[in-house]
């Protein structure tokens, strides 16, 4: 533990593992949340503060600061990265400038900064999500290309389109998301927060895709992990699995890391964490997105298993002391894969089968069923509730963990009531 420090986390439903990681470096954590109760809420070290969705959180944070004191504001959730930066600055605490967090949240603004600074990224332009602008989009971009809501997350709205009919369908889906038509738990992240209904159009980049997680100060950085994502060719880009080691040589990895760091610096980041997604195109690394927080889902767990360093705890220590961890992000003779079992059709869960067989896979160090009968699953591009199970696998061979992932997906199935 760094001291008797107190942390603030903004998150609608933080997992117990996240809070336990924060508590490795702090004596108490205060959670600002509008969501339902979560595991661990009875822990005396965890203090829950509810707020109405969509409210300005700075007054709430000031009240907590006045009563308890806050030493660290932890950017733990994409939807609160910008608010976390604003609060940290207002309270005089370490954190990225709000302008940097805004550039990371707004993919259109990120593209502008990367273009200005020469960071390789897909050619991008903003248009209204209006079918009447189809010809204008076609005049600037040749098929195929990607469309997305600039401030979306969890791959929601991201769609590869290969022709006019597909583009019209994608724009209509984005328009519905802006109007909160249907189940959309992320509406508050962008609905009503922008002028018009913008859509970001981006050149489609092919090649192997990587996740790169970083910690950094103004002058230094540390690589936490580099994982190769499951090949995704559209039309949507659901998170399937990520694996270490990656199928690149040392020079290619070095170039990818350098590009990821350049992207983060271009956004104006000064201290904290970053999760960068890029593709290794024929011309070299191309940044797709860069978020100023740790990777989500099981990324921190996988990093911790591989390196022995808890990335969440390391981030808290960094923000409290400016101390970067020492670690080897490329351990030899190790393989790790984390992933999910997904649906592509919306429906209500009737039953999930095969959990016992999946848990018995020798390489599995974690297997969780995420849904229960009665839960609604809504796949991409309009929904983000498409995982019904998740797992983390370890071995000394990449081929072994990939084979184990295939066995789990063959074993675990879901029965859906489709409307």
Residues 141 and 74 in one domain: no
Task: Give alpha helix (H) positions in 308-378.
Answer: 311-321, 355-359
Whole-angstrom distance, CA of residue 26 vs CA of residue 142? 52
Are 145 and 203 within 8 A, CB to CB? yes
Whole-angstrom distance, CA of residue 364 vs CA of residue 385? 23
Whole-angstrom distance, CA of residue 61 vs CA of residue 100? 20
Q: Please tell me which residue, 190 or 258, carries the higher pLDDT value.
A: 258
CATH of the domain at 263: 3.30.470.20
In-domain check, residue 1: no
In-domain check, residue 139: yes
19-68 pLDDT, tens per residue? 999 999 999 999 998 765 554 556 889 999 988 766 789 999 999 999 99
The count of domains in the chain is 4
Residues 337 and 309 in one domain: no
Average pLDDT, the chain: 93
Are 164 and 138 within 8 A, CB to CB? yes
Last residue of a domain, one of 282, 298, 331: 331
Cα Dmax for the chain? 60
Over range 269-281, report the average pLDDT: 98
DSSP 265: H
Last residue of a domain, one of 331, 363, 382: 331
- Asked whether the predicted pLDDT for residue 191 surpasses 80, the reply is no
Are 7 and 72 within 8 A, CB to CB? yes
Say if pTM beats, i.e. exceeds, 0.85: yes
Over range 363-379, report the average pLDDT: 96
62-109 pLDDT, tens per residue? 999 999 999 999 999 998 999 999 999 999 999 999 999 999 999 999
Tell me whether strands 241-244 and 198-203 are parallel, antiparallel or unpaired: unpaired
Whole-angstrom distance, CA of residue 48 vs CA of residue 28? 11
Residues 300 and 351 in one domain: no
Structure tokens at 231: 């090949």
Residues 323 and 249 in one domain: yes
115-127 pLDDT, tens per residue? 999 999 999 999 9
Residues 109 and 127 in one domain: no
Tell me whether strands 284-291 and 272-281 are parallel, antiparallel or unpaired: antiparallel
SS3 392: strand
Residues 28 and 161 in one domain: no
- Asked whether the predicted pLDDT for residue 270 surpasses 70, the reply is yes
Q: Which domain holds residue 315?
A: 105-113+205-331
Which residues make Cβ contacts (< 8 Å) with residue 175, sequence separation at least 6? 129, 130, 197
Residues 109 and 219 in one domain: yes
Residues 262 and 388 in one domain: no
């Amino acid at each position: 533990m760094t001291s008797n420090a107190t942390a603030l986390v903004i998150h609608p439903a933080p997992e117990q593992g996240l809070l336990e990681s924060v508590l490795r470096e702090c004596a108490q954590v205060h959670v600002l949340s509008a969501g339902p109760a979560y595991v661990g809420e009875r822990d005396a070290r965890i203090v829950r503060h509810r707020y109405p969705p969509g409210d300005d959180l700075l007054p709430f944070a000031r009240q907590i600061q006045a009563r308890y004191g806050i030493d660290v504001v932890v950017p733990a959730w994409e939807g609160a990265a910008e608010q976390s930066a604003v609060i940290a600055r207002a309270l005089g605490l370490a954190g990225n400038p709000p302008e940097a967090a805004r550039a990371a949240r707004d993919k259109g603004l990120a593209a502008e900064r990367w273009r200005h600074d020469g960071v390789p990224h897909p050619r991008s332009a903003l248009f209204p999500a209006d079918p009447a602008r189809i010809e204008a989009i076609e005049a600037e971009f040749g098929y195929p290309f990607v469309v997305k809501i600039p401030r979306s997350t969890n791959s929601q709205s991201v769609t590869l389109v290969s022709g006019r009919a597909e583009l019209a369908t994608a724009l209509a889906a984005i328009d519905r998301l802006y109007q909160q038509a249907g189940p959309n738990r992320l509406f508050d992240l962008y609905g009503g927060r922008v002028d018009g209904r913008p859509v970001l159009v981006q050149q489609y980049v092919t090649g192997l895709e990587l996740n790169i997680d970083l910690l950094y100060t103004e002058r230094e950085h540390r690589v936490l992990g580099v994982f190769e994502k499951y090949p995704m060719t559209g039309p949507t880009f659901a998170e399937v699995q990520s694996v270490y080691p990656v199928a690149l040589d040392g020079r290619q990895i070095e170039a990818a890391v350098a590009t990821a760091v350049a992207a983060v610096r271009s956004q104006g980041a000064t201290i904290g964490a970053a999760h960068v997604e890029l593709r290794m195109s024929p011309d070299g690394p191309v940044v797709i997105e860069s978020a100023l927080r740790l990777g989500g889902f099981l990324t921190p767990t996988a990093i911790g298993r591989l390196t022995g360093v808890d990335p969440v705890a390391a981030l808290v220590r960094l923000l409290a002391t400016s101390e970067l961890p020492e670690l080897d992000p490329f351990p030899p003779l190790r393989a790790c894969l984390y992933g999910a079992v997904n649906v592509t059709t919306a429906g209500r869960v009737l039953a999930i089968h095969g959990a016992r067989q999946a848990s018995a896979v020798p390489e599995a160090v974690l297997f969780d069923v995420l849904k229960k009968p009665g839960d609604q699953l809504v796949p991409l591009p309009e929904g983000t509730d498409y995982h019904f199970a998740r797992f983390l696998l370890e071995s000394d061979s990449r081929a072994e963990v990939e084979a184990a992932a295939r066995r789990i997906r063959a074993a675990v199935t879901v029965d859906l009531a489709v409307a």
